[in-house]
Structure 1
């Protein structure tokens, strides 16, 4: 191999020189910034949106994009394998742009919610960027760059929060969506002009029926979990989501086994990939359930005598910013470590770090220095888990299935986040106390959430150790036995 070039062991794709490779990584990192502007940045102006539309249904404004992203992910992942990753990434960004424009001009929720669903397609940009990097570079180089691409925009995300807040005050929350549309359109143009198209194609047809059943089923079940607490778990709307989603998933599973080219070949996933997806599900849900405690703890003063609280101990803004800094460092560090020791040990290490940090937060809910340290390390865990999860799954998939396998990782991250966030919220609600006529979270609830996250991390650690052993056994089986000297 020539100096300054990288070559993929799977595809033979070569990136000559460092210039094009650096440009590719910068573009794809900025593409992931689009995801934040579409999915999470609108939460900064959530109160303004609720007032504008005259509703208290925050879940519909908050969760719709993420749930739609789960629905879009398998469809766009499979499409990328069949029609080309760059082409589908451009389509993803244009869908996000269209959704943002719809949200900006929507006169009511009847149009705003479909706009958020279109914006949810941007979630696919994360795993499509990963698949493009893995195809453009040699495996060891790709492991490092996956961390840069998935985590490099975290600092921009922190800075954008202040910009978004000021923009909303000056021009209304609609300005946020106009900016999001502009960024998505600009990045679509950059991807079209600067990112090479994939030469690898998966022959076959897109299983549209399977995509609708799987995506719709996941969105229905998760919609029930996310939205049911508002109108009530037995209300007709949430129940319809649950029944419809479960029926769609059951239908998809039965039909997928009989199709020659299903959206996801469930029987062909293999034990290591299933273990990887389970680890990602548990770990992603765990760290998200801990992250949701950070603003709650930072908003309470120790003078309220609830047994926790950091509001009177110093700058809580640092507490909110620390995870973002950790993400920026954790992703590239995990990629570099994976290139040295392999993705399976790196994934196990990230899970172990998350478990330790979660235990540390038992002290962090009442001591700011401990909370700052844990917040930063939790961010490192977030970046490392995402990078290691994508690298591990990508190493188990052939070149012509990188898109759909990467989409499964994103689905597991989303599903885990929604499910364990809901469970954590239920723990807080069931243990709340009444203080001066106001219902507030109790220290018991806080510790209960941390115990739940610790248990999920512990189970993920057991599975990740098993994954390391399987990976080591497979590597030893591939290595030739040493030659014996003749006697």
Structure 2
């Protein structure tokens, strides 16, 4: 209270303005993350609703995934060059437009167009983190970016019960009219509350690099997401994997020779950024494993002896607390990162997630078991997602913040996709008969939990290779930990 009273009026006003900036950006992140789970309740009904084959309506999910993967690094780079707020507003406009397309659609093509537009807004969260770096004082940055980073998981967790509730009680188009309204609210709030950063790099956009990376990502993610349907040994799947490898190698060679690349591979190959991104990949895999296992486990018939026979709405209500825990823990992780460094926070998150999966192998027979486990895993992910932006931003110039955070977000998304593919293989091959059908066996779910635990432990090992940063504890003790050489001096204009 004393500090607030002794601050100059201008400082108090600036501090008051920062609160709505953080809240608005986090809300925008949650709204965009909602798009990932929005269609889950109606996926089984889409063939009937859209008059198309199930293999075709699956593109309503796949199209969003591919569009987000392509857009995230491109939008991040454009934000660094031409304005982060400008690109954030464009992303939210695409969200609203995509929602309207889906809301008025009764056939497959407009639905897929709408879902692509929604996916193109995938860069909102890294853009929000980058705006916070430009606008917030250092002492407020860690907690705020942690909340923004965690909004990806929060939106996905809260979206499922909300979407299930709407789908059960209203016409399915209401799902997308709701997302239209939420996107419009986020758009207006950003226009009113979020300032445009003065930190820009300018220069020429790397069009060749963006096309090359987009083509490689589409090949990779298409092979991962559709390989189970096409066959992992099919020519199409193997051809896409081979094309992705070739395109990435050629793209990397071109980027190293480009004066203003889409992704600065020299910075990205630095020890801190490299191992932070690899840990993000492992965490994306581990987190998504829980999102795949628990809903299926809850919906399987009780006759199996391990299924709980619950509705999709009940599944959503069980998973919703995970999102809230994730947000709270992400915000609360800032003091730990300040005292011990974000590397320690990331490692703590890996241990907690691994413990959650280990707990799940012996606690999966009651609803409260799954609520507890999902909250433990959510707490671990909150720690990790709170630490990742700090680790990235402390290793890159301020002028490359959006591009670097976008790459980290992309690594999480790739981890999600790989997790889905691996879980699909396990569930398809470890089955048990029930009447005239076969269902995933109890051991299949335990195997996925074991894989999720292993991915969290892999993230822990990867985090040990991240250089230790100087913390408040080090400064009080007069110690200076060893670190890799600092990044090139940033010469772009900074806020006063």
Q: TM-score, normalised by structure 2?
A: 0.86
8 Å CA contact retained: 1:4, 1:16:
no
Q: 1:301 and 1:31, CA in 2 relative to 1: closer, same or farther beyond 3 A?
A: same
2:38 corresponds in structure 1 to: 41
Task: Give the deviation of 1:281 after TM superposition.
Answer: 0.5
Instruction: Give the match's secondary structure for 2:433.
Output: strand
Distance 1:167 1:297, change over 3 A: closer
Unmatched 5+ residue regions in structure 1? 6-13, 479-487
Which residue is 1:449 aligned to?
A: 448
Indicate the residue corresponding to 1:262 in structure 2. Answer: 261
- 1: CA distance between counterparts of 2:31 and 2:395? 28
Shift of 1:66: 2.0
Alignment of 1:73-222 (within 5 A): 73-151=72-150, 161-168=160-167, 172-222=171-221
Q: Secondary structure at the match of 1:123?
A: coil
- Paired with 1:252 and 1:211, the residues of 2 have a C-alpha distance of 9
1:156 CA displacement: 7.3
Query: 1:296 Cα shift?
Result: 1.8
Give the whole-Å Cα distance in 2 for the aligned partners of 1:311 and 1:420. 24
**Distance of aligned partners of 1:234 and 1:113 in 2 relative to their CA distance in 1, 3 Å threshold:** farther
Matched, 1:476 2:481: yes
Q: How many Å apart are 1:110 and its aligned residue?
A: 2.8
Structure 2 counterpart SS, 1:293: helix
Query: Structure 1 residue 151: deviation in Å?
Result: 3.8
> 1:268, CA displacement in angstroms?
2.6
Shift, 1:429, TM fit:
1.1
Tell me which moved more, 383-392 or 83-92. 383-392
How far apart, in 1, do the equivalents of 2:17 and 2:411 lie? 32
Q: Report the CA distance shift for 1:374/1:164 in structure 2 as closer, same or farther (over 3 A).
A: closer
**Aligned mates of 1:316, 1:262 — CA distance in 2:** 44
For residues 110 and 245 of structure 1, what CA distance do their matches in structure 2 show?
A: 27
SS for the counterpart of 1:434 is strand
| Residue range with higher mean Cα deviation, 181-190 or 371-380 | 181-190
**Distance in 2, Cα, partners of 1:420 & 1:153:** 17
Question: Could you tell me how far 1:225 is from its partner in structure 2?
Answer: 0.8
SS of match in other structure, 1:440: strand
User: 1:177 offset after TM fit, Å?
Assistant: 1.9
The root-mean-square deviation of aligned C-alpha atoms, in Å, is 2.8
Worse overlay, 24-33 or 180-189: 180-189
Shift of residue 64, structure 1, vs aligned partner: 1.9
In structure 2, relative to structure 1, the CA distance for the partners of 1:3 and 1:59 (3 Å cut) is: farther
Q: Which residue of 2 aligns with 1:291?
A: 291
SS of equivalent residue, structure 1 residue 439: strand
Change (3 A) 1:340 1:71: same
Structure 1 stretch displaced more, 345-354 or 17-26? 17-26
Give the C-alpha shift of residue 301 in structure 1. Answer: 5.6
Shift of 1:198: 0.7
Corresponding position: 1:19 with 2:16: yes
Cα distance in 2 for partners of 1:136, 1:436 equals 61
CA 1:363/1:399 → structure 2, altered by over 3 Å: closer, same or farther?
same
Bigger mean CA deviation after superposition, 200-209 or 14-23: 14-23
> Is residue 256–residue 264 contact of structure 1 (8 Å, CA) maintained in 2?
yes
CA gap of 1:93–1:236, structure 2 versus 1, over 3 A, is: farther
- Specify the alignment match of 1:11 in structure 2: none
Cα distance, 1:234 vs structure 2? 5.5
Cα drift, residue 245 of structure 1: 3.6
Distance 1:262 1:156 in 2: 32
Distance 2:102 2:118 in 1: 9
Query: Which residue of the partner structure matches residue 347 of structure 1?
Result: 346
> C-alpha distance in 1, partners of 2:100/2:124?
18
Question: Across the two proteins, how many residue pairs are aligned to each other?
Answer: 465
How many angstroms does 1:328 deviate by? 2.6
- CA distance in structure 2 between the partners assigned to 1:304 and 1:27 by the alignment: 45
Match of 1:56 in 2: 54
Give unmatched runs, 5+ long, in structure 2. 6-10, 484-496
